[in-house]
Amino acid sequence: MLDRELKEDLLYLSQATNQSMSALVRTMLRQSVKEKKKGLKRVKKINPAQALLDLAKKIEKIEQKHPSSYPTDWSLNHDYYLYGAPKIKP
């Protein structure tokens, strides 16, 4: 929906340029979108698996700089640490 003033302006421009209002609106909208796209930073498509690998590498670097006191057998003994189940010996 267009307000009255915008509709009158578009009608004037369409008559002055000998175009239909629809063609004029499409042309103007296309130009506006093109200009807006130029100003935006392109979003790089990310491979989810690569994103996880990159995150793991960052975590390794942080861990090397700041060693933690977390258990190193977490994947093997998660039930022990979470629920108190018997600990599994590696």
- The tens digit of pLDDT for each residue in 31-70 reads 999 988 887 877 778 889 999 999 999 988 888 888 777 7
Q: Is residue 86 part of a domain?
A: no
Is 80 within a domain? no
pTM over 0.85: no
CA–CA distance, 26 with 21 (Å, rounded to integer): 9
Structural domain of residue 5, as residue ranges?
A: 1-66
The span from the CA of 62 to the CA of 30, in Å, is: 47
Number of domains in the chain: 1
Question: How high is the mean pLDDT of the chain?
Answer: 88
Residue 9 in any domain: the answer is yes
Quote the distance between the C-alpha of residue 60 and its chain's center. 25
Query: How far apart are alpha carbons 74 and 71 in whole angstroms?
Result: 6
For the chain, what is the largest distance between any 2 Cα atoms, rounded to a whole number of angstroms?
85
Residue 18 has pLDDT above 90, yes or no: yes
Judged by DSSP in three states, 59 sits in: helix
Residue 46 lies in a domain: yes
**φ, ψ (nearest 5 deg) of residue 48:** -55, -40
Would residue 78 count as lying in a domain? no
